[in-house]
Structure 1
Amino acid sequence: MKSSEVGGGAGTLSIGALAARFGLATHVLRHWEAMGLLHPGRDAGGRRRYGADDLNRVATILVLKEAGLGLNTIGSLSATVDRATRHEILRPAAEELRSRIAAAQASLELIEGGLNCEYEDVTQCPNYRRHLAERIGPRSPADQPPQDASCAGNSSRSS
């Protein structure tokens, strides 16, 4: 470890060393500090010093961001130890994630349908047509062609 990484206290890191450890820019750590997510110590010269708790905190922030949580939500979570409040904060995030997963799954099914389609013209594939029909929705009576009394499917016809 460089002396600049340890200068302000044994086992602490400078802002540059901490940022490099996680592949972040130093301004990201300053922003997180301004939002109240990080609380680094200071050395005699006023420089930020990060210890083991800060390493854990940065790792936690990164994991929660990868899970799709925003910094404000992460801040709210860090401000509570109450289980009910934690659930109240996380429930909307879980619902949003479920919705995004469902949308991604539907997109994947459409793409895989195109990959597996044996027709030259993908618009002729039954899977593609089903997706279009679902998007269009049920037809209104005004959109339906008039039925001829001689139509085979007409239920008013007597045998």
Structure 2
Amino acid sequence: MRASDEMTIGNLARRTGLAVSAIRYYEEQGLVRPERNSGGQRRFRRSDIRRLSFVKIAQQFGYTLPKIASLMATLPEGRTPTKRDWEKISRSFRRTLDEQIQTLEQMRDNLDGCIGCGCLSLKICRLYNDQDRAARLGPGPRYMMGDRPKDLD
């Protein structure tokens, strides 16, 4: 690693907005792998800014650290990831986001109607879930989970 590509943990913390303790934790989780200088101090790559920024974004979308680690495991070690490397990881990320968007739109569109939960407390439930027919599809709010009354036919 060239000296111009090295960063101290403090510089990395300032650039990413993360606490030093968080960066150390992410290091323990294998999300970044700094090298050590002759004095034993951590030296991070400039590309670790992007890696840790990705961690922050992925966490905002509900990804767990093990899931983030598995996505990042596809990135190369020892060299800065290229645009092509990030495109590969982003395709998987995009698929998940598209699914989450679809789920959120469905929830938004159906929130004020029968959700297929089996409570049968709304008059509309007598139309869409008479006698709790949705229970045949499984437990929980079946219509919010993607099932439709037509699935019972």
Q: Could you say which TM-score interval applies, normalised by the shorter chain?
A: 0.5 to 0.7
Supply the RMSD in Å over aligned alpha carbons.
Answer: 3.5
Q: Identify the match of residue 107 of structure 2 among 81, 103, 106.
A: 103
Alignment-derived partner of residue 53 in structure 1:
47
Residues 99-124 of structure 1, C-alpha deviation per residue, up to 9 Å, x if partnerless? 344324545xx5xxxxxxxxxxxxxx
Higher relative contact order (CA 8 A, sep 6+): 2
Distance 1:21 1:92 in 2: 27
Alignment-derived partner of residue 123 in structure 2:
133
- SS of 2:18's partner is coil
Distance 2:125 2:91 in 1: 34
Distance 2:17 2:37 in 1: 23
Are the equivalent residues in 2 in contact too, given 1:69–1:93 (CA < 8 A)?
A: no
Alignment-derived partner of residue 32 in structure 1:
26
Cα 1:87–1:12, aligned 2, differ >3 Å: closer, same or farther? closer
2:56 pairs with 1:66 = no
Alignment-derived partner of residue 76 in structure 1:
70
Amino acid at match of 1:17: N
Percentage of matched positions with identical amino acids: 28
Cα 1:56–1:91, aligned 2, differ >3 Å: closer, same or farther? closer
- SS of 1:50's partner is strand
Is there any run of 5+ residues in structure 2 with no aligned partner, and where?
A: 76-89, 113-120, 132-153
- SS of 2:39's partner is coil
Distance 2:108 2:102 in 1: 10
Distance 2:41 2:22 in 1: 16
* Residue 24 of structure 1, CA deviation: 1.1
Are the equivalent residues in 2 in contact too, given 1:41–1:48 (CA < 8 A)?
A: yes
Amino acid at match of 1:63: I
Distance 2:108 2:66 in 1: 25
Amino acid at match of 1:15: I
Cα 1:63–1:139, aligned 2, differ >3 Å: closer, same or farther? closer
Cα 1:39–1:101, aligned 2, differ >3 Å: closer, same or farther? farther
Distance 2:45 2:96 in 1: 33
Is there any run of 5+ residues in structure 1 with no aligned partner, and where?
A: 1-7, 111-130, 141-159
Cα 1:87–1:52, aligned 2, differ >3 Å: closer, same or farther? closer
* Residue 75 of structure 1, CA deviation: 0.8
